[in-house]
């Protein structure tokens, strides 16, 4: 009985794990187009040894695919032209609450598909979106308008602190009465000062409120 398929299956699992580990940890939804193509190629290659193909040649071909992927990713890091050619750029599909129909046609994305992506992220209206982009890996990125953004825990804490500060500055009834008495005293002092400085009172009082030199009286 031929049991070669057992050790071949073990080699496929081990080699596949190593190859995919080298290729990266991104999930399918996070892969760019080249990564997806190479991962599919690796999957097709790894199943061939179990069907009777040369296992070591298959593992070697998988290694070549992974090395090619790593080199392509390295080129993308080295310069934007390589990244643009290999993976493409992000496309703005919503700007200031309005659809960019030209870019929607370029990426072949319908409004219904876009709205479905937004609903999954708890966005109820396109008008609430400041910017939305379709990333090279197919993911949707967006930024809400300031008045549509949910309050964060940090902002909520800052608001509570501000309310507490304002509340601490609001006087109680006792403080209001005390402040009123102080204001009345200050007013009386000011009025008295005005009277003392008023030269018209000298006429009614028939005398100087302030002492002046005798030869000038």
Q: State the chain's mean pLDDT as an integer.
A: 74
Domain chopping of the chain, boundaries? 4-86, 91-148, 171-216
The third-level CATH classification (topology) of the domain covering 91-148 is CRO Repressor (3.30.240)
pLDDT in tens, 55-72: 777 777 778 878 887 888
The tally of CA atoms less than 13 A away on the side-chain side of residue 171 is 8
Confidence label for 216 from pLDDT (cuts 50, 70 and 90): very low
Residue 104 reports pLDDT greater than 80:
yes
Sequence-ordered list of residues with C-beta below 8 angstroms from that of 93, at least 6 positions apart, any chain: 99, 100, 103, 104, 107, 109, 114, 132, 133, 134
* Helix/strand/coil for 92: strand
């Amino acid at each position: 009985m031929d049991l070669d398929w057992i050790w071949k299956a073990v080699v496929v699992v081990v080699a596949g794990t190593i190859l995919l580990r080298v290729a990266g940890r991104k999930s399918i939804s996070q892969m760019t187009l080249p990564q997806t193509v190479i991962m599919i190629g690796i999957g097709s290659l790894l199943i061939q040894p179990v069907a009777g193909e040369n296992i070591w040649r298959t593992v070697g071909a998988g290694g070549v695919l992974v090395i090619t992927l790593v080199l392509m990713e390295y080129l993308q890091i080295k310069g934007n032209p390589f990244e643009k050619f290999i993976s493409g750029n992000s496309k703005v599909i919503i700007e200031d609450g309005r659809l960019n129909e030209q870019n929607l046609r370029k990426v072949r994305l319908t409004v219904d598909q876009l709205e479905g992506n937004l609903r999954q992220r708890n966005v109820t209206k396109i008008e609430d979106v400041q910017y939305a982009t379709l990333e090279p890996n197919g993911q949707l990125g967006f930024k809400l308008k300031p008045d549509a953004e949910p309050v964060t825990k940090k902002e909520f804490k800052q608001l509570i602190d501000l309310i507490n500060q304002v509340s601490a500055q609001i006087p109680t009834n006792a403080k209001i009465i005390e402040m009123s008495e102080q204001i009345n005293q200050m007013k009386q002092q000011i009025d008295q000062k005005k009277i003392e400085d008023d030269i018209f009172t000298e006429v009614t009082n028939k005398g100087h409120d302030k002492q002046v030199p005798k030869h000038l009286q």
